[in-house]
Structures are given as structure tokens and as C-alpha cells.
Amino acid sequence: MTSDDEEVTIQTMTAAEFDERILAANERLAAEAETMQEQNNTLRGLVGRYRDYLTRLEATLDELRAERERMDAEVRRLLSPEEQATLKSITAR
């Protein structure tokens, strides 16, 4: 359909037909808006769960770091100074 054809169609359209087309377009837009709102709500929920998961991972990482520090301190306590020097030279490589 060319631009001229569209113009003729619009010119010959009755007010009732125009109103019907506008209402149909509004219904489509309302349905699209509802779908987009549902998607937005879903994404908001996913982001919230992701943040919670990330917070738990960070807490676990902090716990693991603290445990490693405790273990390192225990190893240093159990090793002689010579063994500590050897361990230090090995881990420095």
C-alpha cells in the first residue's frame, strides 16, 4: 500500500472505524505495557535474588579468608624457625 493509498483509506474511513482502530491500538499498547511490567517485576525479583546470593558468597569468602589466616597462624606456630624460612622461600617462588 502506497502513501497515497493510505491517505485515501484514512480519508474514506468513518469516525466509527477510526475510533475502532484507535481502541484496538490502545488495547495492543495496554497488553504490551502489561507484559513489560510483568517482565520488569520478574527482573526486579531476579536482581534481588542475585544480590542476596552475592551477599552470601561474600560472607562465605570472608569466612574462608579468616579460616586460612587461622590455619596459617597455626602452621607458623607449629613450624620451627628453619621450617618457616623454608616454607617462606618455597611460597615466594
Selected residue with higher pLDDT from 42 and 85: 42
Question: Given the C-alpha cell 493510505, which residue does it identify?
Answer: 6
Is residue 48 within 8 A of residue 40, CB to CB? The reply is: no
The distance in angstroms from the start CA to the end CA of the chain is 76
Please list, residue by residue across 4-43, b when 16 or more beta carbons sit within 10 angstroms of its beta carbon and e when fewer do.
eeeeeeeeeeeeeeeeeeeeeeeeeeeeeeeeeeeeeeee
For residue 29, pLDDT over 80 is answered with yes
| Of 4-8, 36-40, 49-53, 69-73, the least confident | 4-8
pLDDT digits (tens, 9 = 90+) for 42-75: 999 999 999 999 999 999 999 999 999 999 899 8
Whether the pTM exceeds 0.75: the reply is no
